[in-house]
A and B are shown apart, each in its own frame.
Chain A
């Protein structure tokens, strides 16, 4: 309750939440506001924004409604961002918890693998995964999740390392608890808040990664995604720059919203840091 109150006391966190709710509302209302396929031909190509009442944000080079693509794009970004983050955080917690709690050779092996993932530039690995498994919505989402897990794993491991020798965990052991119960019941609830907060960073990066991939035309071409639209607009950048500009602002706003919410959560959960 206190945390909630603290959250709403920060204007930045509230702005972030409002922005995020707007993006979510766009994703939900897309089908209802624009019942037609956003990738179908809608009118004359390259109408400037506000020039036609039918196309508030204009049309792109192949005559598709930009506004419709922005609304549907919100779905894709949130979907990929959300699912990929869930994958990354889940793997991260699993790896981090085992490595941090057991230490020794388990830790050694798991951290070597984490090292390997962190040494290889994540975008290059993403390219390799897409090259191998193709660029459907599903494969891209999973690929983004797979390249994003090492950081949450390290964070979870660090939390576990500092918590596992805390006296209340030792007390659990002297009471005769099993490892699983100690990991899940005693350590994890205490290790989770920073990891949850970090999920916002993972989600922001996931959205940026997917949009970059789409911009390079390596993501699913059959869905209306913001990155796809920016890539398309690049061909007419010199004059009709708005085709690229508008979806870019949508990405910026979404990533900003996610970051602000994450920071707000962090300050609300760690009040000590906020006062500094």
Chain B
């Protein structure tokens, strides 16, 4: 390629002794032309972020480039000395990161941090720098640039912080922008805006963009060309159209097949009998204030009413802060709701005393989001699963024996019961969490973002298991998620939450196909790679 801005040639990056594999990157070759967006896709541990750090020569101390060349503007970055690299960083190649909150210095203003780009690489006066900073902030469409320049990072929203990061990265019109999962930490509507912004600015400034992501939706939305990585190697590359529609490598095929489509499966017949009825549940939090003065009242859940038919799956979707997790915790009484009733099997859960909740808790169980934080690291897997029955009076030996049977049910090797949680992968841990919840033979399962922390291929497996168990055990499930694609796949009914209130609910196909509340289509349109998400074929569940 003649107009390549950056080309990597047979790049190999060596990991220190004792790492899970000898090379973070092995024999990676790729090139990026000006005015193109190259997406590097892969699951966690594929080495995609390591590549970004290698290009910037910002690898951790023990990790080093062993072999290969990185040609940028006729210069091999692998051979560049420290001073040369400093000139390239920021001015030639700029970078934006996943978590804009931690990527900005909390103690300095936004304007100050953007201005630093100019003070490092140019001789501009302070007044000129200030003017440039304001222009940049206006460029990334931050409302009121003057105010934003004076603000500290914590005073901006996540989306605005990422805009500020982008303004900073583009300050010196770099030839190449490396974006390392820049929208992963953001809500879906914010993500859509940021993707659009990157695309717009890239086209206007003709910047080359190396965009790292794990999400094929984002790839479909933004990529010109795609590189797929697995275990530090490139397994496939080509134009976005080719890779997405005619993948050749089995791993790519598998990844794309695992992406949940935004298409509800044909509706299943639902029972007319409700197992759980939630009526007018509210929960407010008071923070700060002294003797009631100046207190801030946040309505986490506002007057939520929902029904869960026996054997059905009700999805509660919404962005962060919509109150969906608080509602889930109210249902299992981890949080006590202020008002409203939660009727399970004819008994109002919201009115039970703590002691009664403790006794009745086997009817309703919860699966948590974080597969690492949800298991006590000091207990063996079998013990974790047996804990519930033991608490409720089952003799220890019986409980452990039953736990091993449950292992089989959730697709784990029963002999794995003697291992500690850290010896399992994320997907396996989530299966243990599921087994723990099922050990009490609940009628209702509340799953709070059970697959959000998992890689897409693992995600598909866990969803499949959940659907399978629902059928076999006759479970009724409340499924909390921020990902509409996941909800579309597994849920019979969907409720959309915004600012603590349920704005719309109904049969999944109805909500997705014919949304009634204006927020729902906005949410649907924000899903990256719209066409791709709706159309592509997938493994059936």
Contacts and interface: CB of A to CB of B under 8 A. Distances in A.
Contact between chain A and chain B defined by CB under 8 Å:
yes
Interface of A: 166-168, 170-178, 181, 186, 189-190
A167 B387 contact: no
Nearest to A189: B378
Contact of B332 (A167, A172, A174, A186): A174
Interface string B331-361: 0101000000000000000000000011101
Chain A contact residues, majority secondary structure: helix
Contact of B388 (A167, A170, A175, A178): A175
A190 B378 CA distance: 7
B216 interface: no
Nearest to A169: B376
Contacts of A190: 376-378
A175 B440 contact: yes
B376 A186 contact: yes
Most chain B CB within 10 A, of A166, A167, A170, A177, is at: A167
A173 B334 contact: yes
Most chain B CB within 10 A, of A166, A176, A186, is at: A176
A270 to B, nearest CB: 13
Most chain B CB within 10 A, of A171, A172, A173, A176, is at: A171
Given A176-B362, A181-B391, A168 B373 contact: yes
A264 B225 CA distance: 51
30 contacts: A167-B369, A167-B370, A167-B373, A168-B373, A168-B374, A168-B375, A168-B377, A170-B329, A170-B334, A171-B366, A171-B368, A171-B433, A171-B436, A172-B387, A174-B334, A174-B437, A175-B365, A175-B388, A175-B440, A176-B359, A176-B361, A176-B362, A176-B391, A177-B358, A177-B387, A177-B391, A186-B376, A189-B378, A190-B376, A190-B377
Interface in B351-408: 357-359, 361-362, 365-366, 368-370, 373-378, 387-388, 391-392
Given A171-B436, A175-B365, A176-B358, 8 more contacts: A167-B369, A170-B334, A171-B433, A175-B391, A175-B440, A176-B361, A189-B378, A190-B376
B376 A168 contact: yes
Nearest to B367: A171
Nearest to B366: A174
Nearest to A178: B358
Contacts of B392: 176
Contacts, number: 55
A167 B368 contact: yes
Contacts of B374: 167-168, 171
A173 B335 CA distance: 11
A167 B376 CA distance: 9
Interface in B412-446: 433, 436-437, 440
Closest 9 CB pairs of A and B: A167-B374, A175-B388, A176-B361, A167-B368, A168-B376, A176-B358, A167-B373, A174-B366, A189-B378
A177 B440 CA distance: 13
B358 A166 contact: no
Contacts of B377: 168, 190
Nearest to B421: A168
Nearest to A173: B334
A170 B368 contact: yes
Contacts of B378: 189-190
A170 B433 CA distance: 12
A171 B388 CA distance: 9
A116 B6 CA distance: 63
Most chain A CB within 10 A, of B358, B359, B362, is at: B358
Given A171-B436, A186-B376, A189-B378, A176 B388 contact: yes
B292 to A, nearest CB: 16
Contacts of A189: 378
Contacts of A167: 368-370, 373-374
